[in-house]
Structure 1
Amino acid sequence: MHSVEPVPLPHDCPSDVSLWRIDFAFDASLEDAAFAALSDDERTRAGKFLRHEDALRFASVRVALREQLARHLGIAAHAVRFKLDANRRPHLADSNTLDFNVSHAGSHGLIAMSSKRRVGVDIEHRGESFDWHSITTLTLDASEAAWIDHLNIEAQRAAFYDAWVAKEALVKTTGVGIARGLQHLTVLPRDSAEVTLRNVIPDDMREIAARWIAAPEAYAACVAWSAKTFAR
C-alpha cells in the first residue's frame, strides 16, 4: 500500500505549516481496505481515470488527505467533507480552521496543511520523455527563457522544473493566479531555497512566500504560504 511520511521544512517556514509525502504503490487495488474512507463521489471520480496508475494517485492522495485532516478535526476519515470554492479550490465543508493543498506526479504526492494560513504545494517529475520545451511559453517569462538558454542541457531541465513547481505552488496558494497563466510570474534565476519573485510582482502575490524543498531524485518540489493568517 501507499506510505505517508512527514517532510522536514526549512527553518524559516511558519511552524503551523506541515507537509507530507505519499509514495504510491501501483500494485494496489481500489477495493483494498486502505481506501475504505473514500466517498462514493471520490470512488466515481477515481473510476473515470483511463489508467490504473492515475486512479491510484488520486485515491491515495485523497485518502492520505482525509486521514491527516481527520486527526486535526478529531473525527473519522470517512466523515471529512469537502466543498469547492468559486475558483474550484477544495476546502473543508464544515470548518474554516484548516487550509490544505495537494499535488502528485509520477510515484509521489505531497500534502501541505496549515491551521493559520493558506498553503500551496507542487511536485513534478523531471522525466526525460517529456518535452518541457513545448510548454515554455506557457510557463516561463521571456527573461527566464532567455536565461535558461545559456545553461547546459541538464541545468536547463532542472531550472525549468524549479520555475514550474514554484509558480504552481504560488498560484495554488492564492487560488486565483493560475487564471492569468504561470508566465506572468518571474522566479528565475534561482540563488537559494527561497523563491524570490522578480520583475513585476502581482498584487495577489505580495504576501505569499515560498521555498523549494528537498524532493526524491528526478523530482522538483515547492511549498508556498500566505503571510496573512486566518481571521478568527
Structure 2
Amino acid sequence: MPFIEPVPLPHGGPSDITLWRIDFPFDASLDDSPAFACLSDDERVRAGRFLRHEDAVRFGGTRAALRELLARHLEVTAQAVRFAKDANGRPQLAQSAAFDFNVSHTGAHGLIAISPLRRVGVDIEQHRVGFDWRSIAPLTLDPAEVTWLERRDAVEQSSAFYDAWVAKEALVKTTGAGIARGLQHLAVLPREDAQVVLRNGIPDDMRDIAAQWIAAPQGYSACVAWSMTPFSHRR
C-alpha cells in the first residue's frame, strides 16, 4: 500500500472537526513498506525502541497517517509536516500552533481528530477480557460511578467502565494541561446517549469542553472531545 488510508468517521461535533479511524497493517515492515515512507528519521528511531513489532506499527502507523492527513490540510508533502510540543508537552504542528490534532491507539485500531479552529481530544480503548475494573477504580471513577456500576451485571459493568474511561481521557486530552486532580474527579456515568454529560459539578478547566461517544469496532470504546470556543474567539 502507498500509505495507510484512514477511514473517515461520522460524529456529532462541530463540522470543522474531522475524525478518522486507522486499521493497522501488522504484517508490514517499518523498514521497507511504502506505508511508512513519510516517517522522519527521529520517528523511525522512536519506533525502533519498541520491543514488540505491534507497538512499533501502532506508533509508526498513527504518525504516518497523521502526516498524510495534515499534509492535505497544509497542502505540503507528508514528509514536510513538522511537529513541536507546547508548554505542557502536548504535540502540535510547528507550522501552525492554531491547527490542532490528537491521536489515540490500542489493539488493531487508532483514532485521529483534526481541527483548524479548536482544540480536540480522542481516546479509544480495547476491552480486555477478564479485566478487573475495580483494580483501578480509585484512579479513574467517581464514588457515585462505582456505586452505579456495582448495580449492573458483569457485561454492562465492563462496557460502561470503558465508556467512562475513554470519555474522561478525551476530555482531559482536550484541555492540554489536563485536570490536576485526576480522572476520579470527573463523573460521566450513567451514560444516557452519545452526548457526554459531566455530573456532580463541572471543573473549571472543563467548562469549555464538550464530548461525544462515537461508534467503535466490536470490543472497543471510543470518544471525541472538543473546545466549544474556537481559537479565534479566545483572548
TM-score band by shorter chain is over 0.9
1:113-124 matched pairs, under 5 angstroms = 113-124=114-125
* Equivalent position of 1:6 in the other structure: 8
1:221 and 1:155, CA in 2 relative to 1: closer, same or farther beyond 3 A?
Answer: same
CA-to-partner distance for each residue in 1:88-121, whole Å, 9 max, x for gaps?
1100012134100000010000000111100000
Aligned residues of 2:99 and 2:116 also touching (Cα < 8 A): yes
* Equivalent position of 1:36 in the other structure: 37
Paired amino acid for 1:16: D
Paired amino acid for 2:131: F
* Alpha-carbon distance in structure 1 between the residues aligned to 2:5 and 2:229: 32
1:1-232 matched pairs, under 5 angstroms = 2-10=4-12, 13-31=13-31, 32-231=33-232
Deviation at 1:123, TM superposition (A): 0.3
Following superposition, which runs of at least 4 residues in structure 1 exceed 6 angstroms of deviation?
A: none
Q: Which runs of 5+ in 2 are unaligned?
A: none
CA-to-partner distance for each residue in 1:124-175, whole Å, 9 max, x for gaps?
0012043332211111011101110000000000010000000000000001
Aligned residues: 230
Over aligned residue pairs, what C-alpha RMSD do you find?
Answer: 1.2
Aligned residues of 1:38 and 1:78 also touching (Cα < 8 A): yes
Paired amino acid for 2:105: H
* Alpha-carbon distance in structure 2 between the residues aligned to 1:125 and 1:221: 9
CA-to-partner distance for each residue in 1:48-91, whole Å, 9 max, x for gaps?
11110000000000000000000000000011100111211100
SS at match of 1:228: coil
Sequence identity percentage: 66
Structure 1-normalised TM-score?
0.96
Aligned residues of 1:3 and 1:24 also touching (Cα < 8 A): no
Q: Which runs of 5+ in 1 are unaligned?
A: none
